[in-house]
Amino acid sequence: MANGSVYVHELIDIVGQQRAKYMHHMTAWWCPEARKERDQLLYGVWGTLGSTGAWPQVVNLWEYPSGWDGLAKSFDFEVSNPVMQDPHLQQWWAKAAPLRRGGFDRILVPAPWTSTIEELVAEGTRGDAYAHELITMPPGRSTALLDLVRDEGRVAVGSHGLELVGAFNVAMRTDSECILLWAIPDFATWGRFESAWSGGELAPWRSSLEQLGAVVERSLLVDSPLNPMKIGRQPEESDRRPLEDFDPPA
């Protein structure tokens, strides 16, 4: 069955050493409420490995199984009051505010053959790390890129140990951005993959990307402790701990 969900992808800039606290606040404290009120599922919350991208940073990815209608209802729920903020979550927002400086969001539409988070969990998909690829395309070419990933990229990259988890077109653009997420079983496999990427074994795949005009920006992500693919389920209220437990040592 084709994946009819819509996703919200967030790049969040973290204040100082607050990343662990923020990730727990998002997964254990926000996720159960979002499922009840907005039919919003947690796809994943990850920390960016700083040597490969911006730091300190968190990537959040949320799934709306009812698609655009579900996302529209969530937006309406969020902003249909004078302060443009869910009044039931004032305390949650107050605790989140000092943990982050801001961020940048994208709305994503999955390739029809991309698995939902429930399917990924049922299949036991997971990685010790994840390769997050933001791919910029000439206008109108992002769907061609996703087709190429389906027909050629999954096999080429998969032969070097990475498993394609998700393939998404960035909405509200001129079909000019894609996001790919690959599960990596261990860092030794990642090292061999990067050696093949830079050393020539993946030259045919790189050539196919270049012929489409793709510009690839790759970073590494590491699971938050309560990620669904890590624990095999959505976070629950029973997972909650006081945020003070995550304060860095004095």
Q: Residue 85's pLDDT is what?
A: 60
Token pair for 212:
């489409």
What average pLDDT does the structure give for the chain? Answer: 94
Mean pLDDT value of segment 75-79: 83
- For residue 79, the tally of other CB atoms under 10 A from its CB is 12
DSSP for residue 52: G
Amino acid letter for position 21: K
The yes-or-no verdict on residue 2 having pLDDT over 80 is: yes
The yes-or-no verdict on residue 212 having pLDDT over 70 is: yes
The yes-or-no verdict on residue 91 having pLDDT over 90 is: no
Give the CATH fold of the 6-85+92-229 domain: Alpha-Beta Plaits (3.30.70)
The yes-or-no verdict on residue 121 having pLDDT over 80 is: yes
Q: Residue 176's pLDDT is what?
A: 98
In whole angstroms, how far apart are CA 42 and each of 7, 46, 64, 126, 234?
10, 11, 9, 15, 7
pLDDT tens across 158-207, in order? Answer: 999 999 999 999 999 999 999 999 999 999 999 999 999 998 899 999 99
Q: What would the DSSP string read from start to end of 146-206?
A: HHHIIIIIHHHHHTTT-EEEEEEEESSSSS-EEEEEEEES-HHHHHHHHHHHHHSTTHHHH
